[in-house]
Structure 1
């Protein structure tokens, strides 16, 4: 088991090294000079050159890359050009809405997708199966911005059950801020539940045809015991995989939803940084998101050890 964990950790380091290199290159090839953008159209060439010198943008790319890696190893993601504060501080200030939105969304997605997938597989070919599959296809094809606008119009404007947008006033309590996330979490959860439903159904169908499931029924075990204890437990690995990947995707891809609901999350910060060519913020945010993505994958692999004894051996 220890060797398995060490192999996964070494793989994480390689992936993060590749990600850091790709992020540095991609950010630099995007057109636009951050110094010229900061100073505006009325700036002179001397002003732009002086600011580039101050920001270290006049150095060769290899020198910039070496300094970037050195700072990254020390845990220093740089300093935002526009916000004039450390990138880690800027990300930490925006992390709470994004993390809470991700956790609430994945809870909604799992609460809908897993039971729906199990019910669909157990009732294969029947009305429940066809209805569940149709609803999953419909949810997967809905754009998040359209569903979000529809929910805002119905549940926030007409019914007044939820806030229209925002994250609460500065002195708002945790529960009040969480209340602002309920509607966007439902939007993201409904869309994400479609993939979980389809994977759960497919995994359960593979397991329900196994010999040990037929043996359990032949022994007189109740249908609930056969489905939940024998079939569902053995179908968990693909389900855990898709749940973990969905969570990672939600964490890094809720930009549209955050913008639509006016949430001050990491997604909004990244969009602003891209428009301003704020290199340190773009690099830091992408590396943190990639790190979380890789960490979620590691946790999924470790969860396999608990779910399937074969992995431990």
Structure 2
């Protein structure tokens, strides 16, 4: 297991380099000009060109990337072109809301998905209902669902706050209340995917010969389902959970915008609108690091539930 972790960490280094380099190049093709944003609408072209030189935006792309990479290797992700604040400090402060949203939604989706999937694996009417709910949950657009939840539970019923975020240390109750609607919005598609995969994987496990042997030995259906079939279904379910968490990173961009969440997703949107290259690059680095950690956790979980699985 230790070799697996070291191998995955070693592979993450070139991955991070490739992602950062490609992102740096693609950002230069975005419309807009950070120098124009910083200078203001009333600035003349001469002032904008002068500011572009001060910010280093007139240098070749490879030279800008080399400078950024040299600082990144020492923990310095640069300085925002718009607000002149260190990128690392800004993103570290916005990491908590994003992680709380993503982890919370995936945990809820996993628990509910397992319950629905186990119930659906019994077949019959319940199985068809689970299939229908799964298709519906995957098909519903997250942004539309978020707006509907805000209208119902925040505007009409006034049960939950519609916007914003409260840090956990400031008020745990307010923190949880502000997370409910975003987590539900982000978690519905993931719940549907986990439920569908759990149902299919358990149904496949129940059809295997070892289940017939267990039944012939007098083992109860509950024990067969929870102790044997569910464990055999763990690997494909873990795969879907890992994909759901990675997918939640992209979904968080829209969700954080809808609910005015001060996380990495909202920061990415603001940085892109202002062509703030160092800030965009920093968000990409943080999100890539999260993906690497998620994939590593899934690989380790594979080995725990099924040591025979070879993770390359």
Please give the TM-score of this superposition, normalised by the length of structure 2.
0.93
2:221 to 220, 223, 240: 223
How far 1:113 sits from its partner (Å)?
0.9
Q: Does 1:102 align with 2:106?
A: no
How far 1:6 sits from its partner (Å)?
3.0
Q: Does 1:193 align with 2:191?
A: yes
Q: Note the 1:1-313 alignment, pairs <5 A.
A: 1-123=1-123, 126-168=124-166, 172-311=170-309
User: In 1, Cα distance between the equivalents of 2:137 and 2:226?
Assistant: 26
Change (3 A) 1:53 1:246: same
User: In 2, Cα distance between the equivalents of 1:4 and 1:103?
Assistant: 24
In structure 2, the residue corresponding to 1:108 is in which secondary structure? helix
How far 1:122 sits from its partner (Å)?
2.4
Listed as ranges, the gaps of 5+ residues in structure 2 are: none
In structure 2, the residue corresponding to 1:238 is in which secondary structure? helix
How far 1:168 sits from its partner (Å)?
4.5
CA RMSD of aligned residues (A): 2.0
Q: Deviations over 1:13-62 (max 9, x none)?
A: 22212111111111112122211232134322331222122211122222
User: In 1, Cα distance between the equivalents of 2:308 and 2:155?
Assistant: 53
How far 1:312 sits from its partner (Å)?
7.1
How far 1:254 sits from its partner (Å)?
1.0
Q: Deviations over 1:99-137 (max 9, x none)?
A: 1111221122112111111221222xx110111110111
User: In 2, Cα distance between the equivalents of 1:136 and 1:312?
Assistant: 30
User: In 2, Cα distance between the equivalents of 1:163 and 1:215?
Assistant: 54
Please give the TM-score of this superposition, normalised by the length of structure 1.
0.93
Q: For this pair of structures, how many residues does the alignment match? A: 311
In 2, are the aligned partners of 1:104 and 1:182 still within 8 Å (CA)? no
User: In 2, Cα distance between the equivalents of 1:262 and 1:6?
Assistant: 38
